[in-house]
């Protein structure tokens, strides 16, 4: 059975995103969440995440540590924390399971359950239905959007961070492992905003310089009234075109909003920018979706 109808496909290309109900069962969602709880229990918190800086020199070291940790995370499973979750001794001041913003960027490669969902027949079939010929997985993230402290994600286009030539080759698959609502920070989109290219690109800076990345261009100021919410029930998913403008609000509710999301690229006749922060590595070349 096709997960996508012809109308769905049309809607995706017209609006730049598509909300799908019931991609995963509640049990499949819970299995991913349970595995994530185990990962967090066993998590080693890197020193540069814990340390507070007391001198400018310390601050610089921490910044460098954070930047290195991020830019080499494409083929690893790494932990990214919310602000203000450690005290000055580096101990958690919130429960550790509430301290994380996200985990990335290679769950799809190294965590069997996440790998199985990513390469599942359902995902493969919907990507086939969209006409992709040689799709590969670029990255994956588990995003927590913690109750009360999960911050907003400001308006952006994913191709800002995952740039290709030509554009139009990248798609996010964003799977709600809990209900994503207006209260806990569901996604919002500007329908049809994927037709005008991108306004900003994140690029690596020359080797040996700091910061490690910089932006070319800047994000436009979008009229708030243009955004349409995309709430979705647990197990539902949103397909996100690489150039559609989207955002999510802070989570001011008591309910978390866990999601598993990954990005796919049509690799046929596409050039992946060597200036992107994320690069395929010897350890982990971008794996094919269909195998
Ligand atoms: O989960 C969010 O709030 C933002 C996620 C996002 O921007 C993405 O998956 O592309
Ligand atoms: Fe995004």
pLDDT mean values, one per 10 residues, the chain (291 residues): 88 98 97 98 89 80 92 97 90 93 98 98 97 98 94 96 98 98 97 97 95 96 97 98 97 96 98 98 97 88
- Has the ipTM of the complex gone over 0.85? yes
Question: Contact 170/271 with Cβ under 8 angstroms?
Answer: no
Q: Is 105 helix (H, G, I), strand (E, B) or coil?
A: strand
Give one DSSP letter per residue of 54-122, joined into a string: SSHHHHHHHHHHHHHHHHT-TTSEEEEEPTT-B-TTS-BSS-GGGSEEEEEE-HHHH-HHHHHHHT-HH
As beta bridge partners, residue 18 has: 239
Indicate whether this model's pTM tops 0.80.
yes
Instruction: Provide DSSP, 112-141.
Output: HHHHHHHT-HHHHHHHHHTT-SSEEEEEEE
| 226 in Cβ contact with 15 (< 8 Å) | no
- Is 240's C-beta closer than 6 angstroms to any atom of ligand 1? yes
Contact 40, 94 (CB under 8 A): no
> What is the residue-averaged pLDDT of the chain?
95
Atom index in ligand 1 nearest the CA of residue 145 equals 3
Residues with CB under 5 A from ligand 2 (ion): 158
Candidate of 102, 160, 174 to mutate for ligand 1, largest count of ligand atoms within 8 Å of Cβ: 174
Element (H, E) at 9: helix 6-15
In short, whether 230's Cβ falls inside 6 Å of ligand 1 is no
pLDDT-above-70 percentage for the chain = 99
| Residues 222, 155 contacting (CB under 8 angstroms) | yes
Q: Which residues pair with 231 in a beta bridge?
A: none
DSSP state of 186: -
* CB proximity list for 4: less than 8 A, separation 6 or greater: 12, 18, 20, 126, 129, 130
| Residue 172 in contact with ligand 1 by CB distance below 6 A | yes
**Digit-coded pLDDT (tens) for 42-101:** 998 988 888 777 788 888 888 999 999 999 999 999 999 998 899 988 899 999 999 999
Q: Name which residue sits closest to atom 3 of ligand 1, judged by CA.
A: 248
């Amino acid at each position: 059975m096709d997960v996508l109808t012809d109308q769905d496909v049309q809607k995706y290309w017209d609006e730049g995103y598509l909300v799908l109900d019931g991609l995963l069962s509640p049990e499949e969602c819970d299995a991913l969440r349970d595995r994530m709880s185990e990962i967090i229990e066993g998590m080693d918190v890197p020193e540069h995440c814990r340390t507070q800086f007391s001198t400018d020199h310390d601050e610089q070291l921490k910044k460098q540590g954070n930047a290195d940790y991020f830019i080499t995370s494409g083929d690893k499973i790494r932990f990214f924390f919310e602000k203000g979750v450690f005290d000055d001794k580096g101990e958690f001041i919130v429960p550790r399971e509430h301290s994380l913003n996200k985990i990335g960027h290679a769950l799809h490669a190294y965590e069997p359950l996440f790998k199985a969902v990513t390469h599942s027949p359902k995902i493969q079939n919907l990507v086939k239905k969209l006409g992709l010929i040689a799709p590969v997985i670029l990255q994956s993230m588990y995003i927590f959007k913690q109750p009360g402290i999960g911050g907003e994600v400001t308006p952006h286009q994913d191709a800002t961070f995952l740039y290709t030539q030509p554009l139009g080759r990248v798609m996010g698959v964003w799977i709600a492992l809990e209900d994503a609502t207006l209260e806990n920070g569901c996604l919002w989109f500007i329908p049809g905003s994927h037709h005008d290219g991108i306004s900003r690109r994140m690029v690596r800076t020359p080797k040996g310089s700091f910061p490690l990345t910089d932006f070319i261009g800047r994000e436009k100021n979008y009229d708030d009234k243009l955004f349409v919410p995309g709430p979705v029930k647990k197990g539902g998913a949103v397909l996100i075109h690489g150039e559609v403008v989207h955002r999510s609000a802070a989570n001011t509710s008591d309910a978390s909003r866990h999601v598993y999301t990954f990005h796919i690229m049509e690799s046929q006749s596409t050039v992946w920018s060597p200036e992107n922060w994320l690069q395929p590595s010897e350890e982990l070349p971008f794996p094919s979706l269909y195998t």
